[in-house]
Amino acid sequence: MFRSIAARLAPAAGERAAGPADLPRVVEGIRILVLVMVLVTVPLASPHPGAGSSGIAVAVTLGVSAAACVAWLLAGPGHPLATPMLVVMGAAGGALAGVSFNSPAAAIGCMVTSAAGARLETEASLAITAETIAAFLIAGIAAGAPAGALAGYSAAFIGLWAFGLSRRAYVLRAEQAEEALEQARRAHKAETHAAALAERARIAREIHDVLAHSLGAVSVNLQAAEGLLAAAPQRSPELAKALECIERAGVFTREGLAEARRAVRALRDPGTGAAPAGSLDAQLRALTDSCRADGGMPVSYAVTGEPRPLGAEAGLTAFRTVQEALTNARKHAPGQPVSVTLRFGPGETTVEVVNPLPPDGTAGPLARTGAGYGLAGLRERAALSGAALATGPAGGQWRVCLTIPA
């Protein structure tokens, strides 16, 4: 019987050792020890169980008290039988303390009053405490208990009931404080989320107002310039080349405007993607074909391994990495061949862009353009998506390598 109670109170395998937060377990263990102590010591005191009318009263009240205590411990707090068993323990335990006032039998009554004050509402706990004291006084007076024992045990019952009330008030305050703290956490999380959404909306407005409007204006001007040059009376190879450059610039501008719009939508609604449509292989093939058609930079593209789909964030990171690497090659090493390789390995996907370093002392006309944050932005993207980015010179070439774990 006691083994089953101990098994219910013992922590499961793998749990941490008892600490301050496990005080209820410790209290339950102490109650079991108190019950064992009463069962062992009461039969040794006078009157002995079964000897005369007093002995019969001791045996009956001890048996009822022990049975009700075991049922109460097994039921646990919140069980429908917990309060009825506490009522039975109060009556039987109080009577046991009265007829066996020379033993520690009063410990049952003390356990009842302290538990009632800690677990029940004030009115219910007061009723059980009054019942326990009344049963004790009636049995004690009938058994001829001295006045000191009657007064002392009654005071102990009342004092432990007051202690239980204090513990109940402390637990209620702790629960209220925990609830208030949880509400504060939720409110802080909601405020942080709202601030993040507001910041995303502000960035989206800035991108729309600055970048999208500027690209729109550039596109309009390119179309106007193309129309004026096309209407020129004299045709020459240089004019045709200028028209071709303007047409490609118009294409790049429209593509940039479409990407800016996707970025604005992604900022305003995180559920929408900002990556180009299609698989990563198709995206990179289209990107390298566009750069090759632009002229002035021979670009080769190769795919190794068995292609497989990547996540939206990982695919966008890979696409932006190749896009930035090709832009940097055009700026810093114009006219040099560039190789783009997409490798699908068993545990990772790698994207590598390699181009020869420009001769010492030479720099392309676009080398000083831009803010210089391209590689820093790529590293931030890679870190956010769980990828690894390596950039730098190696064997006379500039190498950009992004490794995405599978």
pLDDT digits (tens, 9 = 90+) for 214-265: 666 676 677 777 776 776 666 677 777 777 777 777 777 777 776 776 667 6
Of the candidates 145, 174, 200, which is a domain's last residue?
A: 145
Residue 300 lies in a domain: yes
- pLDDT over threshold 80, residue 12: no
Residue 99 has which token pair?
């007829």
- What is the separation of C-alpha 145 from the centre of its chain, rounded to a whole number of angstroms? 62
25 φ/ψ angles, rounded to the nearest 5 degrees: -60, -40
264 belongs to a structural domain: no
Q: Please tell me the distance from the alpha carbon of residue 137 to that of residue 285, in angstroms, as a whole number.
A: 96
Task: Report if residue 28 sits inside a domain.
Answer: yes
Task: Dig out the tokens for 55 from the structure.
Answer: 């002995």
Structure tokens at 166: 């204090």
- 330: in domain: yes
Question: Domain ends where: 86, 113, 145?
Answer: 145
pTM for the structure as a whole: 0.48
Specify the pLDDT at position 2.
44
Residue 9 vs residue 303, higher pLDDT = 303
Q: pLDDT band at 385, cuts 50/70/90?
A: confident
Domain of 120 in residue numbering reads as 2-145
Q: Is the pLDDT of residue 315 over 80?
A: yes
CATH of the domain at 322: 3.30.565.10
Q: Regarding predicted confidence, which is higher, 214 or 63? A: 63
Number of domains in the chain: 2
The verdict on residue 205 lying in a domain is no
- Provide the CB-side half-sphere exposure for 107 (13 A, CA): 20
Say if CB 382 and CB 402 are below 8 A apart. Answer: yes
Is the pLDDT score of 13 beyond 50?
no
